[in-house]
Chains A and B, each alone.
Chain A
Amino acid sequence: MTYIFLQHYWWLVVSLLCAILVFLFFVQGGQSVIFSVSRKEDDRAHLLEVLGSKWEITFTTLVTFGGAFFASFPLFYSTSFGGAYWAWMLLLLCFVLQAVSYEFQSKKGNILGSTAYRVFLMLNGIFAPFLLGVVAGTFFTGAPFTVDKENLTDIASPVISNWDSAWHGLEVLWSSPVNLLFGAVVLFLTRVLALLYIINSGVNEHLHKRLHIRLWTNSALFVFHFLLLAGKLLTIDGYAVDPQTQEVFSEPYKYLHNFLQMPVVAGVFLAGVLLVLFGILRTLLAKYKNGIWFAGTGSILVVVSLLLCAGWNNTSYYPSTTDLQSSLTIVNSSSSYFTLKTMFYVSLFVPFVIAYIAYTWRTLAKNK
């Protein structure tokens, strides 16, 4: 295994974890429609029950994604987390509220009352996917930071990564419309996935009808924003890296070039898009319950391919808008060869983890 192979491998693992996370955000999508999908307490309770048994997996995937990113690309962790402080802190708060809300909302003595915890869930359901999408947008549009490792020898100011905006992360909201488009796409995708998942869980006729109506509107909004985003991404300038000198430079149509130069990734992207559309349309046009599995698989493929497009093929996955040569690439921000190799062996546990999760869920579902 060469160092460059391991760097590409770990970018794939991190991308896959992020993609699985986006799929599992159907929990968040479901939370965002708790109040709007039905006014009946029974329906809302059903929604919470269906989503409540899965939130921990979503949460764990988030933690694992963070841990894996830290272990494999620590310079991103230190630059983005320490710089885009408020973006990450807001995201963090959203999840803190979620963690307790499922357990506390049904318990007596919860101080704030059941509705408050459900509002927390709704806020998490809206803001977590949106914020994560917006932050993911900076993988393509960049962020204002400088990295200077020489600073470590400066006794008075030893910090390596510095953020060049006093807003410390809030600027992602207005620095580029692509970021907002990313946020909107992830938000509506999670809502679509949630509606498909709830339909799959088996609901009464009344609720099914209401879910169906919302699926139409959210699917339309998702497709609209997705097309805008795809069009934008394929036409904007990207940030390329010279593999010899590691110099970063702007390249027109970089992401389009990446897809053309990596046909497998492009194929995965197209397959993903088709699967998502198939899952949605089949559920909308026929009385079909298993659309979630097509749309879910499709969304994983789309997200993976987009992230591969951001990091592979000599591309800077986290460009700096204030100092281009500070931009992060999978080469200059990764852990050492030894750590990546060690973590490679650890990552072989992942299929085993997925297998026992699937087996356990199946066992539980079979004995309803």
Chain B
Amino acid sequence: MTLLDTALIDWSRAQFALTAMFHWLIVPLTLGVSIIMSIAETLYVVRSKRNLQESERWKKIAKFWMTLFGINFVVGVASGLILEFEFGTNWSNYSWFVGDIFGAPLAIEGIIAFFIEATFIPVMYLGWKKLNKKFHLASTYLVTFGALLSSYWILVANGWMQSPAGMTFNPDTMRNEMTDFWAVALNPLAVNKFFHTVLSGWVLGGVFVVGVSAYLMLRIKRLDNSEENFVMARKSMFTGAIVGLAATLLVCITGHDSAKHVARSQPMKLAAMEGLYEGGESVGLTGFGILNPNKVSYNDSINPVICKVAFPKMLSWLSFGSTNAYVPGIRNIIDGGYIMPDGRTALSFSEKVERGKMVNEALKEYRNALKAGDTDKMKVHKAEIDLYFPYFGYGYLDKPEQIIPSVPLTFYSFHIMVALGILFIITFAITLLLIYKRKLQIAGSTWQKWFLILLVLCIPLGYIAGQAGWVVAEVGRQPWTVQDLLPVQAAISALDAGQVQTTFWIFASVFILLLAAEITIMVRQIRKGF
């Protein structure tokens, strides 16, 4: 067969990145709005016996967000299917190499989570007049639960790729095989990823609901029954701000936990997030910084940053819980020799490559022995494979630069995400304070108008924060599809780059069309008010 060319690898990565990023434009809103519509409908049911007018308002609020949820949801269904298929179509070697582990969460997601959503979404929309309130509320809860469950299993799959666990390599079948389901399903990194990701979806839900409510308040005079609409917009805004604030604060906690996981299992990602080339003890956390574009190599003497503001010792503390802890930089990871948190000495890149090549050779020998039926030799080579398998993926690499992800992309994405998180905490807190103090009124002042405009402008920022988070997670772990075990060039399908390029542009066109249609439909729907 022909050698795999870099254009094919790049287009395959581009296509998957395009699909995943498009999917992540849609899914967080589904997660976020589902919790808000569940709260609204709960209040409708709870208050129906005590205050009918109030109850009816919550019903209208629930229906309003449900409509937007539905428009958004279908686009997520479409892009999700593409992602599932692309594991096979574009990453066929990956599908075999880890399919024994990776396929199970996908199947469980389908059998358990997707059917809940697919069954109860039509009930949620068609059941308002057909079912009693409690049955309908249960359907809405189940839709929300289904979305959470589906997120869990796909993030188990993703978390496993970042920190493989619960498997062993079988040289007879030439793949990794699951040995401990619970180690896969309850992988600490996956559990953290679930909470961090879902909460970030709730943050976006909060930002979106607050922003849309602000938009309705701004154009309240053009709506029928403007006073009622204003009251409902304010209630929505209050709910959105509470969910958003709570989620953003919790995201900070899960983010800290995530940093600890990354520091241990993906130190290169952490170094790229911080633009840290030279590590050390008591390393500061960059609050703001500009990278030096003249830095072209990890081992040149050029300063990696033009300027930066750092919080002393904070990176050491965030990563390892001690202000004196050693955090390796990019050069240190390549050179090795430092003491890792588990007490072992880190190997250099070249040592890892050497081990990777050794396991490759051992595997060849094992296969030869298998064909010859020489069980003694098989045992010897199996022991070598087991010993060096943690470095298997390095056998495909030869230059240290190959294990460095794009530092600017990872660095800026990380800092944008953190900065936006801080902005959202402040914005949600001010919003809640203003509502609590009854400062947002139908005949608002000029400052109120500008504040509402600011809230509307936060909507795209919510999306940028979510995208930036995934860029950190996925670009930061390049070149690995499975950390240390399978680099992208060994994971792809043997296709022509032109074919993948063609489907890339087809998908790009379809996504643009779908997004444009979704936005215009949503805007029309929002403009109608509650």
Tell whether, in the assembled complex, residue B127 and residue A100 are in contact, meaning their CB atoms are under 8 Å apart.
no
Which of B97, B102, B107, B395 makes the CB contact (< 8 A) with A64? B107
Which of B81, B490, B520 makes the CB contact (< 8 A) with A62? B81
Q: A67 at interface (Cβ–Cβ under 8 A)?
A: yes
Tell whether, in the assembled complex, residue B110 and residue A78 are in contact, meaning their CB atoms are under 8 Å apart.
no
Of B70-78, B227-235, B296-304, B400-408, the one with at least 4 CB within 8 A of chain A: B70-78
Q: How far is the CB of B2 from chain A (nearest CB, A)?
A: 7
Q: How far is the CB of B356 from chain A (nearest CB, A)?
A: 9
Q: Which residues of B contact A65 (CB under 8 A)?
A: 110
Q: Which residues of A contact B177 (CB under 8 A)?
A: 335-336, 338-339
Q: B505 at interface (Cβ–Cβ under 8 A)?
A: no
Tell whether, in the assembled complex, residue A67 and residue B70 are in contact, meaning their CB atoms are under 8 Å apart.
no
Q: A155 at interface (Cβ–Cβ under 8 A)?
A: yes
What secondary structure prevails in chain B residues at the interface with A? helix
| 56-105 of chain A: CB within 8 A of chain B | 56-57, 59-60, 62-68, 70-72, 74-75, 77-83, 85-86, 88-89, 92-93, 95-97, 99-100, 102-104
Q: How far is the CB of A342 from chain B (nearest CB, A)?
A: 5
Tell whether, in the assembled complex, residue B360 and residue A155 are in contact, meaning their CB atoms are under 8 Å apart.
yes
Q: A364 at interface (Cβ–Cβ under 8 A)?
A: yes
Tell whether, in the assembled complex, residue A81 and residue B96 are in contact, meaning their CB atoms are under 8 Å apart.
no
Of B84-92, B190-198, B217-225, B460-468, the one with at least 4 CB within 8 A of chain A: B84-92
- Interface 0/1 of A243-270, CB less than 8 Å to B: 0000000000000000000000000000
Which of A347, A350, A360 makes the CB contact (< 8 A) with B119? A360
Interface hub of B110, B127, B130, B363 (most chain A Cβ within 10 A): B110
| 327-347 of chain A: CB within 8 A of chain B | 335-336, 338-339, 342-343, 346-347
In the bound complex, CA of A78 to CA of B170 (Å): 18
Interface hub of B75, B106, B126, B131 (most chain A Cβ within 10 A): B106
Tell whether, in the assembled complex, residue A81 and residue B85 are in contact, meaning their CB atoms are under 8 Å apart.
yes
Q: Which residues of A contact B524 (CB under 8 A)?
A: 107-109
Q: A201 at interface (Cβ–Cβ under 8 A)?
A: no
Q: A368 at interface (Cβ–Cβ under 8 A)?
A: yes
- Interface 0/1 of A106-122, CB less than 8 Å to B: 01111110000000000
Which of A77, A156, A346 makes the CB contact (< 8 A) with B3? A156
Q: B495 at interface (Cβ–Cβ under 8 A)?
A: yes
Q: How far is the CB of B289 from chain A (nearest CB, A)?
A: 38
In the bound complex, CA of A191 to CA of B31 (Å): 36
Q: How far is the CB of B14 from chain A (nearest CB, A)?
A: 15
Q: Which residues of B contact A78 (CB under 8 A)?
A: 88, 92-96, 99, 493
Q: A2 at interface (Cβ–Cβ under 8 A)?
A: no
Which of A63, A64, A74, A99 makes the CB contact (< 8 A) with B75? A99
Closest to A158 in B: B490
Tell whether, in the assembled complex, residue A63 and residue B84 are in contact, meaning their CB atoms are under 8 Å apart.
yes
Q: Which residues of B contact A100 (CB under 8 A)?
A: 74-75, 78, 514, 517-518
Q: A203 at interface (Cβ–Cβ under 8 A)?
A: no
Q: B279 at interface (Cβ–Cβ under 8 A)?
A: no
Tell whether, in the assembled complex, residue B506 and residue A93 are in contact, meaning their CB atoms are under 8 Å apart.
yes
Q: A88-B88, A108-B524 given as contacts; is B111 within 8 A of A68 (CB)?
A: yes
Which of A68, A111, A157 makes the CB contact (< 8 A) with B110? A68
Tell whether, in the assembled complex, residue A161 and residue B92 are in contact, meaning their CB atoms are under 8 Å apart.
yes
In the bound complex, CA of A157 to CA of B514 (Å): 37
Q: How far is the CB of B523 from chain A (nearest CB, A)?
A: 7
Closest to A367 in B: B130
Q: B499 at interface (Cβ–Cβ under 8 A)?
A: yes
Of A145-153, A172-180, A301-309, the one with at least 4 CB within 8 A of chain B: A145-153
Number of interface residues of B (CB under 8 A): 90
Q: B104 at interface (Cβ–Cβ under 8 A)?
A: yes
Tell whether, in the assembled complex, residue A353 and residue B115 are in contact, meaning their CB atoms are under 8 Å apart.
yes
Tell whether, in the assembled complex, residue A338 and residue B178 are in contact, meaning their CB atoms are under 8 Å apart.
yes
Q: How far is the CB of B54 from chain A (nearest CB, A)?
A: 27
Closest to A74 in B: B99
In the bound complex, CA of A336 to CA of B80 (Å): 27
Closest to B527 in A: A109
Tell whether, in the assembled complex, residue A109 and residue B520 are in contact, meaning their CB atoms are under 8 Å apart.
yes
Tell whether, in the assembled complex, residue B122 and residue A56 are in contact, meaning their CB atoms are under 8 Å apart.
yes
Q: A274 at interface (Cβ–Cβ under 8 A)?
A: no
Q: Which residues of A contact B517 (CB under 8 A)?
A: 100, 104, 109-112
In the bound complex, CA of A110 to CA of B516 (Å): 8
In the bound complex, CA of A360 to CA of B123 (Å): 8
In the bound complex, CA of A166 to CA of B494 (Å): 11
| 33-80 of chain B: CB within 8 A of chain A | 70-71, 74-75, 77-80
Tell whether, in the assembled complex, residue B82 and residue A96 are in contact, meaning their CB atoms are under 8 Å apart.
yes
Q: How far is the CB of B400 from chain A (nearest CB, A)?
A: 17
Tell whether, in the assembled complex, residue B117 and residue A60 are in contact, meaning their CB atoms are under 8 Å apart.
yes
Instruction: Show the binding face of B for A, using Cβ within 8 Å.
Output: 1-4, 70-71, 74-75, 77-82, 84-85, 87-97, 99-104, 106-112, 114-115, 117-123, 126-127, 130-131, 135, 139, 170, 173-175, 177-179, 181, 360, 363-364, 367, 395-396, 489-490, 492-496, 499, 503, 506, 510, 513-514, 516-518, 520-521, 523-525
Q: Which 3 pairs, one residue from A and one from B, show the smallest C-beta to C-beta distance?
A: A82-B92, A74-B99, A81-B88
Instruction: Show the binding face of A for B, using Cβ within 8 Å.
Output: 53-54, 56-57, 59-60, 62-68, 70-72, 74-75, 77-83, 85-86, 88-89, 92-93, 95-97, 99-100, 102-104, 107-112, 149-153, 155-163, 166, 168, 335-336, 338-339, 342-343, 346-347, 349-350, 353, 356-357, 360-361, 363-364, 367-368
Give 27 A-B contacts (CB < 8 Å), ordered by A residue.
Answer: A57-B119, A59-B77, A64-B107, A64-B110, A67-B109, A68-B107, A70-B84, A71-B106, A74-B100, A75-B96, A77-B92, A78-B493, A81-B89, A82-B92, A82-B493, A85-B493, A109-B520, A110-B520, A155-B395, A156-B3, A158-B396, A160-B96, A168-B495, A335-B103, A360-B123, A364-B131, A368-B130
